[in-house]
Chains A and B, each alone.
Chain A
Amino acid sequence: MVQEIGLDQLIREHPFFEGLDDATLELIAGCAANERFDAGQYVFREGQPADKFYMVRHGSVALEVRAPGRDSIVLQTCDDGDVMGWSWLVPPFRWKWDARATRLSRLVSFDAICLRGKLDADPALGYAMYKRFVRVIAERLANARLQMLDLYGAGKE
């Protein structure tokens, strides 16, 4: 028999949400939905309203930037277990990049409009969520800096 893990359980077990109380987890689960993207399909596009954030269940999503007359440039990929998207937290709440599934990807999306209102109304909840996103942002920033260093560039004898 195939046993499917419900969104509620998935959220409870994900390290990103660790430490949140039951009521908050229930609230977050209430804003969550499963979404499926085929290879090549866009999860969101640059400039569109950032009204969601995502958790990658399975698959891989490339965050990329378009460049006229050339192939898009991939900044990073988000893979199994990664939390993706924080433009919903920062005005003007629009995506900075394109997000494209590089293979069949199953994501959990979270309705940010619903959450944003709740975070504004409840500073303790807002702080708890911001703390979690700051960690993701800091990790991405550190990784982006390492990528910028061009570590594998030519050395010397």
Chain B
Amino acid sequence: MKEMTALKDPMVPAPFRIERVRKELSDTFTIDLVSAERRRAFSFLPGQFNMLYVFGVGEIPISISGDPADPETIVHTTRAVGSVTNAMWKLGAGQTIGVRGPFGTSWPVEKAEGLDVVIVTGGIGLAPLRPAIYQIMSNRAAYGNVCILYGARTPEDILFRKELEKWRGQFDLQVDVTVDYATGRWAGRVGVVTKLIGRGGFDPHQTVALVCGPEIMMRFAVEALAERGVPNERIYVSLERNMKCGIGFCGHCQLGGDFVCKDGPVFGFDKIAHKFAIQEL
């Protein structure tokens, strides 16, 4: 497994310079960061997250959405939904923010070698999976069929649309996109993303499934994967909870006996299937 570069003191943010902020969707942006100290490269595993600190406003967890093979630039994609993310979007190139991380568990990209891979994702959930897609594509021959099944709210809300179109144009990838709402101008699929699972080109008995999106979507996706015959121990989900410290000290993100920041965010579904059924968690 690749070594990851954790920051020296996990509670002290390191200064990172904003290289670029770009709008992805009406409410979603991507921010590229480089180390302000330029002392070392930053490496991470697909699925991990950083705590990003907008000085004077606050700190939030955001999944890394860039290429793990690029140690220079850390890329995060997020929605502007609160005070920190809205303040972050207003920052410009050259300004500094604090970074703690990388934290958490990763997608089992290496463990999936030799198997088919099906990626089921919806909305902003594509962002934490993009590093896994990059890594799989950089070592494409090591995998069987690879399917990306993506659902968005409307055609205008399709994240990383150009990249999805590029991937779809490749001979060695199945990319299927569906939206929940559309007008007659949209020529693609309309319907829930879980419907795509039934027609995905993968062998359920030889497949690793990576699932990320709103929790309700994930519940139904897991059900559809099970119906196809994918066993729980080869289904992985990424959970989102109220992560604060990032290292399992504060307990804000506790999920039963687990801390999502430390034991997750990526969990083997067989490890948490029973928790999915508990409404209070």
* A residues adjacent to B (C-beta < 8 A): 39, 60, 62, 64, 70-77, 79-81, 100, 102-103, 143, 146-147, 149-157
Inter-subunit contact B190/A77 (CB<8 Å): yes
**Residues A73 and B191 in contact in the complex (CB < 8 Å), given A146-B220, A155-B81:** no
In the complex, 14 of the A-B residue pairs with CB atoms within 8 angstroms, ordered by the A residue number, are A71-B185, A72-B184, A74-B190, A77-B191, A81-B199, A102-B187, A143-B194, A147-B192, A150-B180, A151-B217, A152-B152, A152-B157, A152-B214, A155-B79
Inter-subunit contact A150/B153 (CB<8 Å): yes
Q: Given A102-B187, A143-B192, list of 20 further CB < 8 A pairs? A: A39-B187, A77-B189, A77-B190, A77-B191, A80-B199, A81-B199, A100-B184, A102-B188, A143-B194, A146-B192, A146-B216, A150-B153, A151-B122, A151-B180, A151-B214, A152-B122, A152-B124, A154-B27, A157-B83, A157-B85
Residues of chain A within 8 A of B191, CB atoms compared: 76-77, 143, 147
* B residues adjacent to A (C-beta < 8 A): 27, 60, 79, 81-85, 122-124, 151-153, 157, 178, 180-192, 194-195, 199, 213-214, 216-217, 220
User: In whole angstroms, how far apart are the Cα atoms of A72 and B188 in the complex?
Assistant: 14
Residues of chain B within 8 A of A149, CB atoms compared: 216
Residues of chain A within 8 A of B122, CB atoms compared: 151-152
The 6 A-B pairs with the shortest beta carbon distances in the complex, nearest first, are: A157-B82, A152-B123, A71-B183, A72-B184, A152-B153, A151-B214
Residue of A nearest to B217 (CB): A151
Inter-subunit contact B79/A154 (CB<8 Å): yes
Residue of A nearest to B159 (CB): A152
A-B contact count (CB 8 A): 88
Residues of chain B within 8 A of A156, CB atoms compared: 81-82
Inter-subunit contact B151/A152 (CB<8 Å): yes
- Most chain-B CB neighbours within 10 Å: which of A79, A146, A156? A146
Residues of chain A within 8 A of B213, CB atoms compared: 151-152
Q: In the complex, how many angstroms separate the beta carbon of A130 from the nearest chain B beta carbon?
A: 22
Q: In the complex, how many angstroms separate the beta carbon of A58 from the nearest chain B beta carbon?
A: 13
User: In whole angstroms, how far apart are the Cα atoms of A44 and B81 in the complex?
Assistant: 43
- Most chain-B CB neighbours within 10 Å: which of A75, A100, A151? A151
Residues of chain A within 8 A of B157, CB atoms compared: 152
Residues of chain B within 8 A of A103, CB atoms compared: 187
Inter-subunit contact A60/B189 (CB<8 Å): yes
**Residues A75 and B81 in contact in the complex (CB < 8 Å), given A150-B180, A152-B151:** no
Q: In the complex, how many angstroms separate the beta carbon of A66 from the nearest chain B beta carbon?
A: 9
Residues of chain A within 8 A of B185, CB atoms compared: 71
Inter-subunit contact A154/B216 (CB<8 Å): no
Residues of chain A within 8 A of B79, CB atoms compared: 154-155
Out of A76, A146, A153, A157, which one reaches B190, CB within 8 Å?
A76
**Residues A62 and B81 in contact in the complex (CB < 8 Å), given A81-B199, A157-B60:** no
Residues of chain B within 8 A of A153, CB atoms compared: 153
Inter-subunit contact B190/A75 (CB<8 Å): yes
Residue of A nearest to B122 (CB): A152
Residues of chain B within 8 A of A74, CB atoms compared: 181-184, 186, 190
Inter-subunit contact A152/B184 (CB<8 Å): no
Inter-subunit contact A79/B151 (CB<8 Å): no
User: In whole angstroms, how far apart are the Cα atoms of A60 and B191 in the complex?
Assistant: 12
Inter-subunit contact A64/B181 (CB<8 Å): no
Q: In the complex, how many angstroms separate the beta carbon of B182 from the nearest chain A beta carbon?
A: 5
- Most chain-A CB neighbours within 10 Å: which of B184, B192, B195, B213? B184
